[in-house]
Structure 1
Amino acid sequence: MAAHFPINHHLRPLYRLLSALAGLYMLVFGVVGFVQTSGAEFFTRDEAEWVLGLRTNPAFSLLSLVAGVVVLGANLIGRNVAHHINQLAGVVLTVVGMFSLAVMQTEANVLAFSMVNVIVTFILAAVTGIASLYDRVGSLTAARAEEAHRHSARVA
C-alpha cells in the first residue's frame, strides 16, 4: 500500500510556517550556541553550555545551525523542496533523538545531549515530519486525481 500525500492542501501555508519556525529555532540556537561555546573543545561534554533551554557544545551548535539553514531555506523556497526536506528532517531528527537517548549516560554522548535536548529534538521531528504530510504541491489536475483516488471505493 503506497502512501498518498494530499496535494495542494488548504493548510499548506500553515504547515510550512510551522516548519519554518522550527528551522528558525534550530538556526538561532545554533548561532547563539556556537558563539557561547567558542573556545571550548568541539566535542566537549564537561564545558557544555545551556543555550535557549538546551545543553550544547560547539559540535551540536554547528549541526543545529546547518540543519536550521536547510529546513528554513527549504520552507522559504517552498514547492516540493520543502516537502522532501521536511520529510528528511523528520526522519533524521527522530533518529538523532533515539540515538541520543540511547547514549545519553555514556561516553558516546559527544553532542552533550540532556533529556531536554532529546525531548526538543522529538518535538522538532514531529513538527517537520507532520508538515511534510501536508505541504506537497502539484498541478490542479494532479490534486484532483489524488483526491479522487483517496475517495474511491476500495476493492479487496
Structure 2
Amino acid sequence: MAAHVLHSGTRRPRRRVTLNEHLPVDHRLSTIYRVGAGLMGLVLVVFGILGLIDKIGFFDTGGDTVAGLNTNGALSVLSICVGLLLLVGMVIGGNFASTLNMVAGVAFILSGFVNLGLLDTSFNFLAFRIQNVLFSFVVGILLMIFGMYGRVGSALPHDNPYWRARHPEPVRHAGRGPHHPEQT
C-alpha cells in the first residue's frame, strides 16, 4: 500500500540546519547565552565549594546537606567541574555558550531521571535525595531555556540569524528590489 508513496521519485532535498550557524559576535542573543551559563555555573561552583568546606567524605551517603541539598565530596567536585565548564562557556559566549547550555541542560535532566531511579539504593554514590533530583530538573530546564532562547520557536523575527538560516528562499527574495541587477 505505502510502496507507491516511498518510491514516487519526487523527493525534495532536506536542508539541515546546524546548531553552530555563524552569529555575529556582538549579537544581543550572545548576552543571554552568557548570562545563563554564568548564573548556573556560579551556583554550581558555590555549591561545590561549600560542600568541600564541610569536609564531607568523598562517597559518603549520609545526610550531609549544603544549602538544602544533600551532598558528598564526589558531588561537590562534580559540581565545581560542571560549574567551571559553564563559566568557560560564559567567557567564550556566542553559539558555544548556547550549545553548551543546551547540552548541559539535557545532561542535568537525564541525571535527574537516573538519580531518581537510584534513590535509596546502594548505587546512589552521589548521595542524591529528592531535593537534589528536583534541583537537577530545575537547573536542566533553565539551562535549556537559556540555550534555546532565540534559536527555536515559531515566532522568531525575520532578522534573526537562525530564522534566516532555516528560510533561505524568503531571504534571497527579500534582497531583490525593483532595481536589483539579478532581476534584469
What is the total number of aligned residue pairs between the two structures?
A: 146
TM-score (norm 2): 0.67
Corresponding residue of 1:84: 99
Helix, strand or coil for the counterpart of 1:76? Answer: helix
1:145 corresponds to 2:167: no
Matches within 5 A, 1:109-128: 109-128=124-143
CA contact (8 A) 1:19 1:127 kept: no
Corresponding residue of 2:46: 28
Helix, strand or coil for the counterpart of 1:86? Answer: helix
**Alpha-carbon distance between aligned partners in 2 of 1:75 and 1:145, rounded to the nearest angstrom:** 25
Residues 147 and 56 from structure 1, CA distance in 2 versus in 1: closer, same or farther, beyond 3 angstroms?
same
Looking at CA atoms only, which structure, 1 or 2, has the larger radius of gyration?
Answer: 2
1:42 corresponds to 2:61: no
Q: What is the letter of the counterpart of residue 114 of structure 2?
A: F
Residues 150 and 58 from structure 1, CA distance in 2 versus in 1: closer, same or farther, beyond 3 angstroms?
farther
Identical amino acids, percent of aligned pairs: 31
Considering Cα pairs closer than 8 Å and 6+ residues apart, tell me whether 1 or 2 has the greater RCO.
1
Q: What is the letter of the counterpart of residue 115 of structure 1?
A: I
Structure 1 residue runs without a partner (length 5+): none
CA contact (8 A) 2:33 2:90 kept: no
1:53 corresponds to 2:71: no
Q: Runs of 4 or more off by more than 6 Å in structure 1?
A: 3-6
Q: Residue 76 of structure 1: CA displacement? A: 2.2
2:120 equivalent among 105, 110, 114: 105
Q: Which moved more, 1:4-13 or 1:118-127?
A: 4-13
Q: Residue 84 of structure 1: CA displacement? A: 2.3
Corresponding residue of 1:66: 81
Corresponding residue of 2:31: 13
User: Which has the larger share of helix?
Assistant: 1
Helix, strand or coil for the counterpart of 1:43? Answer: coil
Q: What is the letter of the counterpart of residue 42 of structure 1?
A: F
Residues 79 and 10 from structure 1, CA distance in 2 versus in 1: closer, same or farther, beyond 3 angstroms?
closer
CA RMSD after TM alignment: 3.0
Residues 130 and 151 from structure 1, CA distance in 2 versus in 1: closer, same or farther, beyond 3 angstroms?
farther
**Alpha-carbon distance between aligned partners in 2 of 1:80 and 1:15, rounded to the nearest angstrom:** 8
